Structure 1
Amino acid sequence: MTVQEALELEQLELMPLPGVFDGYIEFVARVSSTCLVTVKRNRYSVPCRLANRRVSVRLYPEHLDLYADDVWTASHVRLLGRDQVSYDWQHYLPLLERKPGALRNGAPFVEMPKALGSLRLALNKRPGGDRAMADLLACVPKQGLATVITAVEHLLAGGVVNVEHVKHLVSTLAGGSQPPAEPQKVVTPDALRVNDEPIADTARYEQLRVSTDIALVDEESGDA
C-alpha cells in the first residue's frame, strides 16, 4: 500500500481540525505612574487612565496584549532585548491637556508620524505652539488619526505654518466641517407646470427708461 492509498483510507476516520490554538502566558502586572508595564525586563505603555492600576498581560511569542477588566486596552510587538521601552504616543494624549510642554522632550512623542513630527518642530519655538499642537492632537481620538494627518499634510504643503493656522485647523476639525454636498436637482411636479413658459424680455426696461426721459423733458418745459 502506498502512502497516498493509506491517506485516502484514513481520511474517512480523521476528525475535523479545530480552530487555531490561542496559546499565551497570562499574568497580572502593575502599571507605573508613567503608564508603563514591565514584562520580561522590558516596559510597554498603556493608556494613561490606567496609571497605578493592575492589568492582565497576555504574552505571545511575537507580541503581547494588555487587558483591563477583561477589556482589551493595548498591543505591542514583543521586545526581545532588555531594558527597552515600547511607547504608543496616543496613550499619553490626555496628559497634554494639562502639560502641553511634554511635547518638547517627552519620550513617547519621539516616534510620531512624520507629518505631525514636522508640525511639532515648526511650532516648538513659537509662543503658544505647544498648546496649539496639544489641541490639534486632542482631535485624534474624535476625528481619527488618518483625518488629522491628511489635514496637517495640506497645512504643511502651504509652506508657511504659524499658530493661527493650527488654531483654525483645530476649529475646523472640532466642528466636523465637511465639503459641501452636490446640490440636488429639483423636479417640478406636472400639476405645477405652466403651459406657456414666460419669456425673458429685457427690452421692456429700455421702454421704461425712454418713458422716464420724456417725463423729465416735459417737466423741464413746464418750468420754462
Structure 2
Amino acid sequence: MIRDNIESKPIGLLSSHEDQVEHVATEKELAAVAKWRRERDERHRRYGYWADWGDPKIPKWERLYQGRLMVRLEDVRLKTERYRWGETMQRSFAESRVRKLEPAIPRILATIAAMAAAKTSNAAFDERERIAAAEEAKRRADAERRRKHEQSAAALLDELMELQSRADRLRALLVALRRTESGGRVGRLLEWTEGRLEGLEQSLGGSALEQRLEKAGLFDAEDEAGTR
C-alpha cells in the first residue's frame, strides 16, 4: 500500500487487475438452455404459442484474474475556477498483456506528487470559497439590517410627523377657542384641549423621543455603524 507522507493516509492500493475475456459456455449453462428450449417446444405443441420469456442467459464476457497487477490511487480532483468540482486525474495504472507495471512507477510517483499538490491547492481553493461565501453572507445580512433599519426609522418618522401635525392642529384650535367665552363647557373643553396639547408636546420632547428610539432599537452607536 502506498502512503501519503503528508497526511499519513492510504492513497493507493496494489491489487490484481481483472481482465475481460470472452466467456466459454459451461456444460451446465448449455444444459439449462437445452432444457428451456425443449420445454418451450413442448408448450408450443400443446398450446400452439411460443413462450420466449425466462430463457437462460449465457454471458458473452467474463472477468478473470490472470496475475496482472494494478495500482489504483485515491480519487483526487484539482479544483479550479473553471472546474469547481475538480478536473479528474489519472488514478489507475495496470499491466496489460504486453506491458508490465514497473516502467510506470515514475509516472505513478509523479502522479502521487501531483495529487499531494492538488490537495494543497484544493485546500486553498476551499478556503477562498469559504471566505467569499462568508463575505457574501455578511453583505446580505448588512443589507437586510439596513433595510429593516430604514423601514423602522421611516415608520417612526411617520408616527412623529402625525403627532406633530396633531399638535399643530391643536394649537390652532386653542387659538380659536381662546377667542370665545372661556366659561362653562367651553372653558372645560379649553382646559382639556390644553392638556392634550401638553401631552403631545411631552411625547415629542427629548426624553420621550429618546425612549421611543431606544425601544425601536434605532440610532444607537452600534446601529449607526451597521447602517453606513
TM-score by length of 1: 0.22
TM-score by length of 2: 0.21
Select the structure that is richer in helix. Answer: 2
Higher CA-based Rg: 2
* Larger relative contact order (Cα-Cα within 8 Å, sequence gap ≥ 6): 2
